[in-house]
Chain A
Amino acid sequence: MTEQLTPEKTENMPPGLQLEKVDDRIMTLNVGPQHPGSGHMRLIIKIDGDYIVDADPDPGYVHRGEEKMAEVRNYILNIPHLERPVIHDSCNILYPYVLGVEDLVGIEVPERAKYIRVIAAELNRCVYTQYWLAIYGIFLGHSTMFMWPAGDRELLIDLLEKMTGARVTHSYFVPGGVRNDVPPNFEEVCLRQVNYFEKRIKEYADIFYDNPILKARTDDAGVLSASDAIRLGTTGSVLRASGIDFDVRIKEPYDVYDELDVHTNVLKEGDSYARSKVPWLDMLESCNIIRQALEKMPKSGSIRTKLKPNPKGGNDEVYRRVESGRGSAGMHIISKSQPQPYRLKISPGSFRNLIALPYLLKGEKLGNMPAVYWSLNYWPVEADR
């Protein structure tokens, strides 16, 4: 005789097998991958009228097995492969890998290459943040805030294309430096376009950040207190919007960040408005960093240390992390004296921030769902790897 399953009996079973009592008031909405408001992720939301009772994120739609695929390629051939988790911000997700391999194999990077790497990383951070801001605008129904960042981003992508040869997924960093030197006349073109870019993003204040409708909509939406932010393990701009001053570029400086003047922007409220304002302030900061780096860069010099064929590390492991557009992105490499890495683990910033989503959405209104969800700076492809 099969026994009747009741909700009490299935409480201890894994989540997919549990039974729930059907409540007439609660409706289950599937904000799925085919939805204009979700990205490549599924959110199962249970709503009671206008209030969200439970939210269950379901990532994994874009999982490719990148960490496994990295084990069969050698260190140089891994470069086009490991920059694909975030295609716009590719330099920043590749940066910890390159730094880690340099530590393992023991390579010195020339000074000019370090400056060029910093410039490319900051440009990538601005490009990613503009894209994120564009989608934030369209989630809130503000179509101009989609077009302006997407258009102004072209100014920087143009620079990256002159420098590296490709608009996105540049394959530019190698262990030992960068692949090619910047074209002649690059410094003044870069300065001119970065100055104009900074003037453009200051115009977003009037139409977006000081807009009373936006403020009334995102103030006090999804408040994350400082202690909760530390307890849940969030990182990046989410952490800085809750009042905690932590930036990997200052705490663990890599390349030439210790010689440049970097300020962090910290806001105390911890609501969606603060989380959407911190990346914008970070972009203004990035423009300053690029200008300083262009001044201090040595005018000539080698940009790549020649590697021996088939570089391999010893029996060693290394963990490096950098500050990418979404938070601290880290890479843990274990090598066993082979040209291929034995095991590679990517620790992206987005997956850390996903933990906060069901916690923040409980008790929120349904109208606040897009604002809270996207303000956590979540990039689905990187979180699924």
Chain B
Amino acid sequence: MSVIAPKFRLAYFLKSIIDNIFWIIILVTLIAIPAIQIVLFYMELPVIEGELLTAFLAFTWLFHPDMQIPLIKSLIHSDLFRIAAFPGFGFAALIAAGTIFVERKMLAKLQLRVGPFYCGKIEGLLQLAADGLKLISKEIIIPAKADKPLFWVAPILFVGTAAAFVSLIPVAPGGWVVADLDVGLIAVFAVIGFFPIITILSAWSANSKYPFIGGIRALHQMVSFEIPLILSLLGVVILTGTLNLNEIVESQANFPWIIFMPIGAIVFFTAMLAELERIPFDLPEAESEIVAGWLTEFSGMMYGLVQLGSYVKLFAFAALFVTIFLGGWTGPVIWPPLDEQIITEGLPISDFKGDPLLTVSTPGLPLFDEDPNEWILQKHGLLEYTSGQLFFSGVIWFVLKTIAVIFFILLPRGVFPRIRIDMLLHIGWYKLIGLAFVNIFIALGLLYAGVLGPEGIF
């Protein structure tokens, strides 16, 4: 609104254009092209239709109508896509960005005010992009006596660990998880146990009083809430008999575990709020007492990375809650319906009067099914739903349930004040561990009574 703009001069304008072109050329030559070459050198090339897919062949096939769909299919099932885009970091970052925006708007509505509303024409949608640009353009200030290698590496480690956590969680049926481990749950605990180490390292290496106090408080908080976190999940492990997250979700095909383990769910939820440093447990960043806790000395993009890692961690924890207690991706198949005519005859295109013009034939459809002939089986009644339909509907249910859990994580921020450190330790070591043990006894009781479990009635 009140931008102080200098007067327009043609020379300045041309100079800025030439400046931008110069920097783009330098960055592309020195960084982007070598990176692309390294990726192409080390990536494993798939074999499609009997031919090895080199980069040259891929570009040729991009414009060949018969070969486009198998190319895209092979790309979707490759490892790189899984890590970077769909159940991996890209998906998590997108939901994390959405969470930040929804949090600001929802808190604003709770507090009877408007959140961001200026960036982006509709209700401030581009606010996050503006914040990201602002953080990139700020100078990164390192304290003089800080431990420089540790201080630089701490935010990157944080984001890396959060991404590792995201990679363990299954999103859709058919093995859509980046790392399918048989001891998936123990790997999750191992990754969660790494977070306090990163916090205390980054707090200690800053060499200042306020991060010191904040780091000690963060360490106390995270370590003392890890035990209830692990114990509350043991009930579900006892009842399903497996540690593999895929199998835990599949065992909830008829009912979610939250019906039988409500206490475990509440204990896990509270411990999750403490691990995420959300209000009411946000002591390590308590603003009014210890300026910003262990984040005090971070500035510029380091702060941006820590925030990104924090919200990716929030998504990962919510996804874990959904996987274990709410049933992951299970739910009735709601979308999409199958259109047989597009597969057999092709896509009809008509002009604006309604007369059919031409029919585009797209061989190689359907895109997400594992076996291209599944739709034939479904038409004859042998297969109830194709794997593509199961995939889409599974993703939709998963996202809906995660959004519901995230809403309940964001709500206490507007309603509760901050808790004190001695109250927090009292809750973590006495009350929550007691409730978690009660939960385990209930699980054992249900197991030995023959009601649930691998040999039970259900």
Contact = CB atoms under 8 A, between A and B. Distances in A.
Do A's and B's CB atoms come within 8 Å in the complex?
yes
Tell me what chain A mostly uses at the interface: helix, strand, loop, or mixed: helix
For A50, A217, A366, A367, the residue with the greatest tally of chain B CB atoms inside 10 Å of its CB is A367
Nearest to B110: A144
A141 B419 CA distance: 9
A141 B415 contact: no
Interface in A82-130: none
Interface string A352-368: 00000000000001111
Interface in A172-213: 207, 211, 213
A144 B289 contact: no
Contacts of A365: 420-422
B112 A147 contact: yes
B107 interface: yes
B415 A369 contact: no
Contacts of B414: 143-144
A367 B421 contact: yes
B111 A217 contact: no
Contact of A211 (B113, B289, B417): B417
A141 B291 CA distance: 12
Nearest to B416: A213
A365 B286 CA distance: 15
B288 A142 contact: no
Contacts of B286: 141
Given A147-B113, A148-B111, A37 B423 contact: no
A301 to B, nearest CB: 39
A41 interface: no
A143 B107 contact: yes
Contacts of A148: 111-112
A37 B419 contact: no
Contacts of B110: 144
A159 interface: no
Nearest to A374: B288
A145 B417 contact: yes
B282 interface: yes
Given A144-B111, A147-B111, A137 B420 contact: no
Contacts of B422: 50, 365, 367
Tell me what chain B mostly uses at the interface: helix, strand, loop, or mixed: loop
Contacts of B431: none
A296 interface: no
A37 B280 contact: no
B422 to A, nearest CB: 7
Contacts of A50: 421-422
Given A36-B291, A37-B289, A217-B423, A141 B417 contact: yes
B289 A367 contact: yes
A37 B420 contact: no
Contacts of A143: 107, 111, 413-414
A368 B420 contact: yes
Interface in B249-292: 279-280, 282, 286-289, 291
A27 B287 contact: no
B418 interface: yes
Interface in B372-427: 413-423
Contacts of B113: 147, 151
For A144, A207, A365, the residue with the greatest tally of chain B CB atoms inside 10 Å of its CB is A144
A141 B111 contact: no
B148 interface: no
Contacts of B134: none
A367 B288 contact: no
Nearest to B282: A141
B280 to A, nearest CB: 6
Contacts of A142: 416-418
B209 interface: yes
Contacts of A207: 415
Interface string A9-42: 0000000000000000001010000011100000
Interface string B79-115: 0000000000000000000000000000100111100
A370 interface: yes
Contacts of A213: 280, 416-417, 419
A141 B68 CA distance: 55
Interface in A191-250: 207, 211, 213-214, 216-217
A147 B416 CA distance: 13
A132 interface: no
A379 interface: no
B55 to A, nearest CB: 52
A347 B209 CA distance: 38
B304 to A, nearest CB: 21
A44 interface: no
A138 B421 contact: no
B220 to A, nearest CB: 11
A244 to B, nearest CB: 28
A135 to B, nearest CB: 9
Given A37-B289, A217-B417, A370-B288, A141 B423 contact: no
Contacts of B279: 141
B417 A137 contact: yes
A35 B291 contact: yes
B288 A138 contact: yes
B211 to A, nearest CB: 13
A140 interface: yes
A280 interface: no
For B113, B414, B415, B423, the residue with the greatest tally of chain A CB atoms inside 10 Å of its CB is B415
A75 interface: no
Nearest to A34: B291
Nearest to A142: B417
A351 interface: no
24 contacts: A27-B209, A29-B209, A35-B291, A37-B288, A138-B287, A139-B288, A140-B288, A141-B286, A143-B111, A143-B414, A144-B107, A144-B111, A145-B417, A151-B112, A207-B415, A211-B416, A216-B420, A216-B423, A217-B417, A217-B418, A217-B419, A365-B422, A367-B422, A370-B288
Given A144-B415, A151-B113, A367-B422, 19 more contacts: A27-B209, A36-B291, A137-B417, A138-B288, A141-B279, A141-B282, A141-B418, A144-B107, A144-B414, A147-B112, A148-B111, A151-B112, A216-B419, A216-B420, A217-B417, A365-B420, A367-B420, A367-B421, A370-B288
The 8 lowest CB-CB distance pairs between A and B, nearest first, are: A141-B418, A37-B288, A147-B111, A142-B417, A367-B420, A140-B417, A139-B288, A144-B414
